[in-house]
Amino acid sequence: MWEIWQGIIAAARLLVTLDADLVEITLRSLQVTLTAVAIGSAIALPLGAWLAVQRFRWRRAVIATLNALMGLPPVVVGLVVYLLLSRSGPFGALGLIFTPTAMIIAQVIIVVPLIASIAHQAIRELWSDYHDLLLSLGASKRQRIATLIWDARRALLTAGLAGFGRAIGEVGAIMIVGGNIDHATRVLTTAIALETSKGDFALALGLGFVLIGLALLVNYAIHALSRTEREGRW
Amino acid sequence: MSAILPARAEGLTVRRRGRTLVGPVDLDISAEGLTILMGPNGAGKTTLLRALHGLERLAAGRVLWGMPLRAARAAQAFVFQTPVLLRRSVIDNIAYPLRLQGVGRAEARARAAEWAGRVGLAQALERPAEVLSGGERQKMALARALIRSPQILFLDEPTANLDGRSMREIEAILREARAAGTRIFMATHNIGQARRLASEVVFLYRGRVHEAATAEAFFDAPATPEAAAFIRGDIVE
Amino acid sequence: MRPILTAALMLLAWAGLAQAQEKVVRLAVTTSFHNSGLAEVLLPEIRRDLGLTVQLLVVGTGQALRLGQAGDVDAVLVHSRAAEEEFVAQGWGTHRREIMYNDFVLIGPEDDPAGVAGAAGAAEALQRIATAGAPFVSRGDDSGTHRRERALWQAAGIDPLHASGRWYREAGAGMGAALNIAAGMGAYVLSDRATWLNFGHKDGLRILFEGDPALFNQYAFIPVNPERHGHVKADLVAALEAWLTSEKGQRLIGVYEIDGQKLFVPNAAQEGSDG
């Protein structure tokens, strides 16, 4: 209990003084995660819609695989991405290992199955509503996907936020591919792991509270923004 | 504009899980008029309409339009018994078919507003479609179907479950559309509505065309005992 | 769709900008070195003197050498002599340069149930733990500290793996995490002195045995071989090595202290030795 209090105090101190290191790693956390979620959504939303719309032989298998990959251990993703991006790996020449870009790549892999699965669920229902009309109007495959994504945007926002939630709190993968280098690839979660390993629980907990606050802030902001667009249940 | 009519269905057959729902049906669709498709529940009216429109996979047969299939599809429209509501405003629902054809947003919305006015939805343009009443929803679906100026419009019991006023308004819209040259092919089980609107009647019985005649001939002197019983209001199985 | 893509591209551009940097060297160091806090004294001085940013990858010795082998870092600073010599012998590193040493200490609960405080040497201390069957936390992560711990057990004539899961607990964790675990279960643990002094969660633990020369802990700097990995910044690494072994670098290492205790003894030979 005492340590939780110290954590709250540490968080308050970091915030009040606007600690330069804290601002830096918080911004980097946001940068990496938002980029990963944006890229992940650009891949996963059309993928989810496509899986809802398209009938093909291995469709069920692909959907089941996607659902299973939602539970993909980030450490494994991190290790695979490390081996691919390592200087001795196939993409080593790009020099991406231990950079924010490598962290973004790992997080994209982690969030795509999650976002695509949730998107697929939401869009599948909408598609059963829209199916006859869109066929009757002769909508092309591309138009069907675009319509479904647009009209399911509220539910898809939730999918995106779920991806954000998974990515912002993720430490295993980005620790491996980012290396937790101070002023280069250190983010909130890896800083928390570091402080914990140093036994500075108060600071670690303080950073944890900052992380939770950040996640709340982003969620509130997104909801506030989407509300202004149009009132109504959709 | 080249014409998709007259059209002809040959040996049209729809099966599902080994059961024949419709067919084989041979049917001529003339260039003008308003055809009412009648028949007892389960006769296959909905399936036949969908098959003609191309929404059903055919087990056999074909529909021959006056132009290649792809172009023919674009010249048709369909109004479902339960209107499909896009999760958008009324005006965006009505504008949607134009947007699919690549019409710019501003122009599509302007034309949609005009159509909304014609069907009596001018006050509801920016409301979400789902808050509309049953009659308003069907009128919106009609405007959405007519906005592309289809050469033929299929309707599947569009006034089932609607109150009398909505029914009258929808029938007025259909008369107007017919007067403007739209060929109408509509299923209904409402005999009064059929008498009011039909220029010809197709009587479907157990998945087949049992009788096809002009409206006068059909109602005055039905050729089959089943049709006669149906018109009298007897139960026909 | 389009706004999402635009946002993604903008964020990527931002990521790219953040990466546009000047002179950077990547150095894999052990957790024990990093936890000492010495890096926070040395790195700013290096930046001031050489205009060089040293990016530290804090990992165990095993992983540090793997990173060097893969060419993902430009040099390593580790403390496990046998592994280091093999690394150089296989051609992954150019040479091994000793920089400094510190020492390991045996940490345990204040009441010292195994009575290691009175032991004559490290071997005897470990024998007492084994005899008492008192809980002992091993790093279990193939780090330099872990390798040293295994060597000490061997010297004591004990194979603790027989007791694995009973009193011998392999944590598979870094030094700090292992200390956390030891504090949590009132166990003995071998730690480098630097990490111990900087550790913030001592919680009933204290140093029970220290000073045996068998516990000395030599750190060495190994540049990754540019013949194996053409992209390593050999010239910057050479400058870094020269600085670490310079009179100034060695002095800064020697005067570094926590709570009035000196942590490291600088012992760089003035010419590079080939290990």
Which chain A residue's Cα is nearest to C19? A99
Q: Could you give the count of Cα atoms lying within 13 Å of A51 in the half-sphere of its Cβ?
A: 25
Backbone angles phi, psi at C245, to 5 degrees: -95, 0
Cα distances from C274 to residues A179, A225, B133, C62, C216, in angstroms, run 29, 63, 88, 21, 21
- C→A contacts (Cβ < 8 Å), by residue, are 1, 4-5, 7-8, 11-12, 14-16, 18-19, 26, 31, 35, 53, 55-58, 69-72, 173-177, 179-180, 198-202, 229, 231
- Contact criterion met (CB below 8 Å) for C275 and C95: yes
Cβ contact B100–A232 (<8 Å): no
User: What's the pLDDT band for C162 if we cut at 50, 70, 90?
Assistant: confident
My answer on whether omega of the bond before A90 falls inside 30° of 0, hence cis, is no
Q: Determine the pLDDT at residue A196.
A: 83
Chain A residues in contact with B88 (beta carbon < 8 A): 151
At residue C3 the predicted structure's pLDDT band, cuts being 50, 70 and 90, is low
Calculate how close chain A gets to B87, using CA atoms only, in Å: 6
Copy the structure tokens of residue A215.
């996640």
Chain A contact for B120 (CB, 8 A cutoff): no
Q: Is B68 on the interface with A (CB under 8 A)?
A: no
Q: How far apart are CA A33 and CA A222, in angstroms?
A: 15
CB pairs under 8 A between A and B: 39
Which residues in chain C touch residue A99, judged by CB atoms under 8 angstroms apart? 19
Chain A partners within 8 Å of C58 (Cβ): 180, 194
Biggest distance spanned by C-alpha atoms of chain C: 73
Is there a contact between C220 and C81 (Cβ–Cβ < 8 Å)?
Answer: yes
pLDDT of C274 above 50: no
Residues 6+ away with beta carbon under 8 Å from C240: C25, C27, C46, C50, C52, C54, C75
Look at residue C275 in the predicted model and tell me its pLDDT. Answer: 38
Closest-CA residue of C relative to A33 is C11
Those residues of chain A whose CB sits closer than 8 Å to some CB in chain C are 28, 31-32, 34-35, 38-39, 41-42, 45-46, 86-89, 92, 95, 97-101, 104, 146, 149, 179-184, 194, 196-202
**Residues A199, C229: C-beta atoms closer than 8 Å:** no
Using the 8-state DSSP alphabet, how is residue C262 labeled? E
What confidence category does residue C197 fall into, taking pLDDT thresholds of 50, 70 and 90?
A: confident
pLDDT of residue C202: 83
B96 chain-A contacts, CB cut-off 8 A: 137, 147
The reply to whether residue C15 touches residue A89, judged by beta carbons under 8 angstroms, is: no
Chains with ≥3 CB–CB distances under 8 Å to B: A
Q: Which of A132-141, A223-232, B118-127, B199-208 has the lowest mean pLDDT?
A: A223-232
Q: Please give the CATH topology (third level) of the domain spanning C103-215.
A: D-Maltodextrin-Binding Protein; domain 2 (3.40.190)
Which residues in chain A have Cβ-Cβ distances shorter than 8 Å to C26?
98, 181
The C-alpha torsion from C143 through C149 and C155 to C156, rounded to 10°, is -160
Tokens encoding B108: 């599509």
Rounded mean pLDDT, C219-240: 93
Section B161-190 average pLDDT:
91
SS3 call for B127: coil
Structure tokens, B234? 């007897």
CB C100 within 8 A of CB C253: yes
Compute the C-alpha angle B168/B171/B177, nearest 5°: 145
Nearest to B100 among A130, A137, A230 (CB): A137
Judge B/A contact: 3 or more CB pairs < 8 A.
yes
Residues B209 and B218: their CA atoms lie apart, in Å, by 13
Structure tokens at A202: 């108060």
Contact predicate A171/A193, CB 8 Å:
yes
Cα A81 vs. chain centroid, distance in angstroms?
Answer: 16
Q: Domain C23-101+217-266's class?
A: alpha beta
How far is it, in rounded angstroms, from Cα A190 to Cα C54?
19
Q: Do C71 and A31 touch (CB under 8 A)?
A: no
- Residue A144 has a CB neighbour count (10 Å cut-off) of 22
**Beta-carbon separation of B100 and A143 below 8 A:** yes
| pLDDT per position as a tens digit, C107-140 | 999 999 999 998 999 999 999 999 999 999 999 8
The reported pLDDT for the residue numbered A57 is 86
pLDDT score at C151: 92
Strands (E), chain A: none
| Average predicted confidence (pLDDT) for chain C | 87
The Cα–Cα gap between A102 and C125 comes to 46
Q: Cβ of B128 under 8 Å from any chain A Cβ?
A: yes
A139 touches chain B (CB under 8 A): yes
- ipTM, interface predicted TM-score of the complex: 0.90
Decide if B74 and A129 are in contact by the 8 Å CB cutoff.
no
Each domain of chain B, given as residue ranges in start order, spans: 7-85+150-232, 86-131
The tens digit of pLDDT for each residue in C8-62 reads 566 556 555 554 457 899 999 988 788 888 999 999 999 999 999 999 999 888 8
What residue spans in chain C does CATH classification 3.40.190.10 cover?
23-101+217-266, 103-215
Residues of chain A with pLDDT under 70: 227-234
User: For the domain A29-191, what is the CATH superfamily, name and number?
Assistant: MetI-like (1.10.3720.10)
Interface test with A, best of C1, C34, C66, C180 (most A CBs within 10 A): C1
* Third-level CATH fold of B7-85+150-232: Rossmann fold (3.40.50)
What 3-state DSSP class applies to C230? coil
Which tokens in the block code for residue A133?
Answer: 């009309």
pLDDT at B30 over 80: yes
Inter-chain residue contact C4 with A42, CB threshold 8 Å: yes
Residues of B in contact with A232 (CB under 8 A): 128
Band the pLDDT of C273: cuts 50, 70, 90.
Answer: very low
Q: Do A196 and C8 touch (CB under 8 A)?
A: no
In this prediction, residue B90 carries a pLDDT of 94
Which residues in chain C touch residue A98, judged by CB atoms under 8 angstroms apart?
Answer: 26, 55, 57, 72
